[in-house]
Each structure stands twice: as structure tokens, then as C-alpha cells.
Amino acid sequence: MKKNNPLISVIVPIYNVEKYLRHCVDSILSQSNHNLEVWLVDDGSPDGCPAICDEYARKDNRIKVIHKKNGGLSDARNVAIDVESGEYVCFVDSDDYIAPTYVETLYSLIEKYHTKASIINPVAIDEDGNLTHSFQHDEQEYCWGADETLEQMFYQNKFDTTAWGKLYHRSLFESGIRYPKGLLFEDLPTTYLLFKKCDKIAFKATELYYYLLRSDSIEGSVFSNEKMDSAMKIFDSFKGHEDLLTGCKEAYYCRMLSFAFHILLSMPDGYPRKKELYAKVREYRTKVLCNSKARKKTRVAALLSYLGPNMVRNCFKLIRHR
């Protein structure tokens, strides 16, 4: 990397991850691009995370620590966005870790293609280090316009809406875009807004971000009314932004249906608000069935949905990991 690389801010929201935090921070400090400031945001963590954050700050002056009352993942990210001083910003979740060339690769894409954002593939692993999900990683590079990027993201072909796995120019946040406080699945209604502010976005199909699937994470936790409330608010959050989705509407329908199925599969039997969610399935399924670009398993689930939610739950669980 060139010595005059701009400062890059790495934001790490932290809550109750004492077991994983050192591995995460060590992977950031081991980056081949050393021109970083690392924001460790202790979101009122009740375990040993606050002390670990302070320990690392004493050892490396690139680390900045924020201790705050618990406000959730979005609030932790937003607090750091408001104070970071890097020209570029990326996010790493505190139970994940990154390869040594992660930041270098993301910035190299921006520099090469003259973009304000770049993307790489994530790899999902379990707590034993086993691979559970992977996108295609053929090392190919692409540079798309905003709408084509949203198509790729909403179709979930090469990457998804996650906050991590991406590098953003700080100007994209200066319009006031922030992660919605108090919501789960907070990146779904946020990432597309950031990309729509770009003329083009660079992507490389290389897997340098390792996403840990934990049983007690948001994705793996027991279903709750909080999950249901967040899901319905996510659907509603797109209302009023239809003009931004004009160039990728068919892909957007696919992502919304996929999201609805994701929530449906995590619901316990007899959950009283199942019909409320299933109304969203009915809203999008016909549009997806007619779309040859949609993922095969999403189209199959859309077809099965005509047989009722229980059929979807039983059958889609069999095909979702294929």
C-alpha cells in the first residue's frame, strides 16, 4: 500500500462478546494497511468487554474507545459515525474477524475504479470454524452503477445488505443517513440508501470477512415480539423511497420475499402474528414467481407458499442451505 493512503475508520460495536473480542481486534490491528483509526464502541456491555477495550487502547494509539449506555447495534455504529475522522469508513462486528488484506483490498478497489464505495464477499462460519455459507469467490472484479449494484444485492447473488464487507467514503453519511436505532436487521433499510448516493460501486468476489453464526446472536436467538416488530418496521421503512427503487424493483421484491421467509422460518409454531407476516408473502410472491432472475430457492418457496405457511416452513428448511 502507498504511504499516503487516506485514514480509514474501522467501527466496532461491542456488546457481550468477551469470548470473541480479542480475536476481532487483533485481526483489525494486523491489517496490511496501517493507516487506521479503530473505534471500539462499548455499548454498555455487562461482561469484560469494557476492560478489554481500554487495555487495547493503552497498547495502540490507533484505538479510540467509547463507553456508552446500551442503545443497540445501530446506536453504537451511529455514535462512532458522528465522531470518526477517517476519509473512509467500514464496520466490523465484534464477534467476527477479517483477513489481513481486508481493508487494503476494499480501498484498492475504490482507488482503481474511482468509486465512493466498495464491496467484498463474506464467509459465514460456526463456532467450530466450519464453513456454513459462502458466496461465489472467483476473484473477479466488477464495477456497477448504483441500480445494478442494488440488483446484485437484492438478488443476493454475490453479496447481501450487511453493513460489514463494505467500505464507504464518509461523504455518504454526511447527508444524515444513519442506522435505524432500536431495530433489528438494521442494515436492510440502510445499505441501499448509501449505494444510491454513488455513481458506481466496485466489487471483488474474494472472501476476506469471516462472519460468525452464533446461537445467541440476533440471527440465532429465540424468536421474540421484538423480532416481529422490527421486521414489520423494516417493510414499512421502504415506503416513501419507491423512487429510489425504480431501477431495481424486481430485485427488491425478491429480497423482501426472502426476508419474509427468513422471519417465517424462525417463528415458533402457533405464533399469533403469523398471518400478519404472511400478508407480506402474498404481496410479493406472484412478482417473484414471474422473475427468472430470482434465486431458485426463493421461487420454489414462493410457489410452496400457495399451500400455506406450514408447507413453506417444512419444505423451505430442507432447501434453504442447498
* pLDDT given for residue 157 in this prediction: 85
Pick from 199, 209, 197, 200: which is nearest to 170 by CA?
Answer: 197
Q: How confident is the model at residue 297 (pLDDT cuts 50, 70, 90)?
A: confident
- Check if the beta carbon of residue 82 is closer than 8 Å to that of residue 75: no
Alpha-carbon distance 45 to 71, whole Å?
A: 10
Cell of 23: 480475536
DSSP letter string, 210-260 = EEE--TTSTTTSPP-HHHHHHHHHHHHHTTT-GGGGGGGHHHHHHHHHHHH
> Percent of the chain at pLDDT above 70?
91
Residue range 115-126, pLDDT digits in tens: 999 999 888 888
Pairing of strands 200-212, 141-145: antiparallel
Alpha-carbon distance 156 to 286, whole Å?
A: 19
Q: How confident is the model at residue 318 (pLDDT cuts 50, 70, 90)?
A: low
pLDDT (average), residues 207-232: 81
Residue count of the chain, please give it: 322
Phi/psi region, residue 299 (left: phi>0; alpha: psi -120 to 50; beta: rest), is alpha
Q: How many CB atoms lie within 10 A of CB 64?
A: 18
3-state secondary structure of 150: helix
Cell of 79: 455514535
Residue range 30-71, pLDDT digits in tens: 999 999 999 999 999 999 999 999 999 999 999 999 999 999
pTM score, two decimals? 0.92
Residue 290 has pLDDT above 60, yes or no: yes
All structural domains of the chain with their residue ranges: 8-212, 225-319
Least-confidence region, from 23-37, 199-213, 246-260, 294-308 = 294-308
Cell of 41: 464502541
- Check if the beta carbon of residue 63 is closer than 8 Å to that of residue 40: yes
- The residue written with cell numbers 482507488 in the block is 111
Topology of domain 8-212, CATH: Spore Coat Polysaccharide Biosynthesis Protein SpsA; Chain A (3.90.550)
Alpha-carbon distance 236 to 232, whole Å?
A: 6
Q: How confident is the model at residue 1 (pLDDT cuts 50, 70, 90)?
A: very low
* pLDDT given for residue 304 in this prediction: 87
Angle made by CA atoms 24, 133, 273, in degrees to the nearest 5 = 95
Residue range 77-105, pLDDT digits in tens: 999 999 999 999 999 999 999 999 999 99
Q: Is 28 exposed, middle or buried (0-12, 13-18, 19+ CB in 10 A)?
A: buried
- Check if the beta carbon of residue 101 is closer than 8 Å to that of residue 208: yes
- Check if the beta carbon of residue 221 is closer than 8 Å to that of residue 165: no
* pLDDT given for residue 126 in this prediction: 83
Residues 6+ apart with CB under 8 A from 183: 74, 189, 230, 233, 234
CA end-to-end distance (rounded Å), the chain: 39
Alpha-carbon distance 312 to 318, whole Å?
A: 10
Alpha-carbon distance 91 to 162, whole Å?
A: 10
Least-confidence region, from 6-15, 48-57, 107-116, 291-300 = 291-300
3-state secondary structure of 152: helix
* 269: DSSP letter: T
Strand partners, 134: 123
- Check if the beta carbon of residue 161 is closer than 8 Å to that of residue 258: no
Alpha-carbon distance 107 to 88, whole Å?
A: 9
Residue 197 has pLDDT above 90, yes or no: yes
